[in-house]
Amino acid sequence: MTYEGFLTLVGIDQNQMDAIVNTDNVVPFDNDYALAIGPSSIHGVGMFSTENIPAGRYVCPIMVGDKRTPAGRYINHSEAPNVMALFEKNAFSLYAVRELIAGTEMLCDYENNMKLQAGKLEVTL
C-alpha cells in the first residue's frame, strides 16, 4: 500500500497526519543506537543507520512508555520496508527485516504497524 493509500485507509489527509506526527510526545533514546536523523528523499526527514545492521537484529525502541522515540517519529513509510515494529515485553521495538548498510534510510510499512498496534498482526523474524 502506498503512503497515500495508507492515509485513505485511516481516513485522514496529509495536514491531519502532520498535526499527529509533529506533536511534542517524542523523547530521546535511552541509549546510543547506530542511528541518525537526516533529510529524506522520500518525505521530509528520515532515520538512517550509521553502521551495517544485519537482518533480524534489534535496532532500537520505538516507544518509551506512552512517548515515541526518534525512531517512532522519523521512520518513513514504504511498501518495501527494511525494518519492522514488533511488540515484545510490553513495548514496541524495531528490527531489521533485511541487512541495512550504513547510510540506509529505515523504512516501515505503516499499515502493518497499525495492525500490530491493534493486536491484529503477529510477526516473527
- Domains, the chain: 3-117 (2.170.270.10)
- Tell me the average pLDDT across 87-111: 87
The per-residue pLDDT for 17 is 65
pLDDT tier at 26, thresholds 50, 70, 90: confident
So what's the pLDDT on residue 114? 53
pLDDT of residue 7: 67
Comparing 87 with 50, which gets the higher pLDDT?
Answer: 50
Contacts 24+ apart (CB under 8 A), 48-52: 48/103, 48/104, 48/105, 48/106, 49/100, 49/101, 49/102, 49/103, 49/104, 49/106, 50/102, 50/103, 51/102, 52/99, 52/100, 52/101, 52/102
